[in-house]
Structure 1
Amino acid sequence: MLATQRRAAIVSIVESTGAARISDLVEQLGVSDMTVRRDIERLDSEGRVERVHGGAIAVQPRATDEPGFSAKSSLMTAEKQAIAAAAARLVQPGATIGISAGTTTYELARAIRHLPQLTVVTNSVPVAQLLHETQSAGHVVVLTGGVRTPSDALVGPVAVNALQGLHVDRLFLGAHGIDESAGLTTPNLVEAETNRALVRASRAVCVLADHSKFGIVGLSTFLPLREVDTLITDSGITARARAVLEDSVEQLVLAAPASGAASGASVRTGPVTSSGAG
């Protein structure tokens, strides 16, 4: 195994388990203790793992880190598409909905773009552009205005003021992170306030989040889990996260990325069942 392959393997092991002891890595990789120590030191200097006494732990994102839209678009694509397919089943022709900024909510916009006569309130520039280009469907798109963030969200006082007095039947809401105690969070304080305004304008809130969002805590909470009506995630979610959601949200949808399984996703109150989606 080449050094680059060995280090990639260490990163994979640490990220999948959260932490790894040097002795375990020595056994799994079949190399010396000193080689593993040097690899961990190199990976720590590159910011790929964090070196600790006796091993390494996964690098935790900072509460203020805010990846751009393009960077996030290439992550968890199959999971996002499955989540979007499940969410699209909740949208009927002629509906009035809200769609927040985010790459998973953008996948929802793609999934529903041909549904006729939708009225969509959004603070997402890519969502507004996508729906505006689908002119044959007769959409009415209300773009809030505001200051543009790295994730292509329009936020701030202009966006909040634009949402006052508006009412949508259901809001499809993304999140940077989801945590049992912190709830739904974002690294951007101004975006948090805009998301709260979107929630206030909505009769029901449906959160779209792939399994990688769980356990991440951004700088600012914008919605407690107990105020979520429906949460759609993918089948990669951990048993612990499932248990938390069962106790916290009203409805939970568990969507499986397409892999030959039957299409469809069930919405359940109480225990979660897994099914394919998209």
Structure 2
Amino acid sequence: MSTTIDSSSRRLPAGRKAELAAYVAETGQVTVANLAERFDVSPDTIRRDLDQLDADGVLIRTHGGAISLQAVPRPDTGLDVRLRLQTQAKDQIGVLAAGLVHDGAAIMINAGTTTLATARHLTDHRDLTIATNSLRLATELNPMAFRDLYVFGGVVRLSAQGTVGPVAFPAHSGADRDIRCDLALIGVGAVSADAGYSTSNLGEATMMREMMDRSARVAVLADSTKFGRRLFAQIADLGRADYLVTDAPPPPDLAEALREADVEVLTPAS
């Protein structure tokens, strides 16, 4: 007796997981409910598949779904998920950005995954004074690298694990002390020829601009997935930065705009 295979029958697990992985890579970010409906299996089966694919390094498991390793994360994507995206690019940027920091310098660093990568490459630096809004930075820094570490107060954004508030430290009299730094290392969400540097949160944009204004030099850190994009809140025009530190050369229109704005582009090949 011959056996026929109905095209609507369920796929074998290995085949389903391969198709599931391909679908996540194509879509970028998905939910368990969406996948269960698409592949006609239970949510528990999808969860097990996603857990296995995450363990295999194929995708990143998130609360309620998954995200592709190459995806551009949504603004509300948690820091722990974003830390696993574009890791090689961020590490390359971190090496270059750390090279701009001199021993004994006073620096500002905003909260973000690319700036955390930079912090990990400050291991051999010494006598730094660091001001940041990142609640995670202290865990990434070598304690021998800094003399003083200050964290700006404000409202805590859990997704960024950072604070949003004034770039200031009040004195005992109640007035804010004036602070100035040698270098600001600012990770941004988007870089475009017409909109400059932008991010998704208005309060963060204001804070990042103020960090720039209080620093003698400014290095913007952004991997190449940020090019040609514009997010809700503008931080500053292109010319506000002295350096753009990235993992790959910008596209021609952005490269020309950066040249006209006198911004030095630093890449691993430069």
Q: Name the amino acid aligned to 2:160.
A: S
Root-mean-square deviation over aligned CA pairs: 2.9
Q: Secondary structure at the match of 1:136?
A: coil
Given that 1:231 and 1:249 are in contact with CA atoms closer than 8 Å, whether structure 2 keeps it comes out as no
Q: Secondary structure at the match of 2:181?
A: coil
User: Structure 1, residues 83-106: CA drift from partner, whole Å, max 9, x if none?
Assistant: 110111111111111111111111
For the structure 1 residues 242 and 141, does the alpha-carbon distance in structure 2 shift closer, same or farther, using more than 3 Å as the test?
same
Q: Which of 96, 105, 108 pairs up with 2:115?
A: 105
Given that 2:195 and 2:230 are in contact with CA atoms closer than 8 Å, whether structure 1 keeps it comes out as yes
Given that 2:193 and 2:253 are in contact with CA atoms closer than 8 Å, whether structure 1 keeps it comes out as no
Given that 1:66 and 1:187 are in contact with CA atoms closer than 8 Å, whether structure 2 keeps it comes out as no
Residue number in structure 1 paired with 2:234: 221
For the structure 1 residues 66 and 180, does the alpha-carbon distance in structure 2 shift closer, same or farther, using more than 3 Å as the test?
farther
Shift of 1:74: 0.3
Once the two structures are superposed, the pairs formed by residues 130-169 of structure 1 within 5 Å of their partners are 130-131=140-141, 134-149=142-157, 150-156=159-165, 159-162=166-169, 165-169=178-182
For the structure 1 residues 95 and 177, does the alpha-carbon distance in structure 2 shift closer, same or farther, using more than 3 Å as the test?
same
Query: CA separation in 1, counterparts of 2:88 and 2:78?
Result: 19
TM-score normalized by the length of structure 2: 0.68
Query: CA separation in 2, counterparts of 1:244 and 1:237?
Result: 10
Query: CA separation in 2, counterparts of 1:123 and 1:147?
Result: 10
Stretches of structure 1 lacking an aligned partner (at least 5 in a row):
16-41, 44-58, 256-273
For the structure 1 residues 196 and 148, does the alpha-carbon distance in structure 2 shift closer, same or farther, using more than 3 Å as the test?
same
Once the two structures are superposed, the pairs formed by residues 127-276 of structure 1 within 5 Å of their partners are 127-131=137-141, 134-149=142-157, 150-156=159-165, 159-162=166-169, 165-235=178-248, 237-255=250-268, 274-275=269-270
Residue number in structure 2 paired with 1:84: 94
Shift of 1:69: 1.2
For the structure 1 residues 248 and 2, does the alpha-carbon distance in structure 2 shift closer, same or farther, using more than 3 Å as the test?
farther
For the structure 1 residues 244 and 138, does the alpha-carbon distance in structure 2 shift closer, same or farther, using more than 3 Å as the test?
closer
Q: For this pair of structures, how many residues does the alignment match?
A: 212
Q: Greater Rg, structure 1 or structure 2?
A: 2
Shift of 1:115: 1.1
Of Structure 1 and Structure 2, which has the larger fraction of its residues in helix? 1
Q: Secondary structure at the match of 1:169?
A: strand
Q: Does 1:93 align with 2:93?
A: no
Q: Secondary structure at the match of 2:203?
A: helix
Once the two structures are superposed, the pairs formed by residues 54-73 of structure 1 within 5 Å of their partners are 65-73=75-83
For the structure 1 residues 127 and 249, does the alpha-carbon distance in structure 2 shift closer, same or farther, using more than 3 Å as the test?
farther
Q: Secondary structure at the match of 1:116?
A: coil
For the structure 1 residues 245 and 8, does the alpha-carbon distance in structure 2 shift closer, same or farther, using more than 3 Å as the test?
farther
Stretches of structure 2 lacking an aligned partner (at least 5 in a row):
1-13, 29-37, 40-70, 170-175
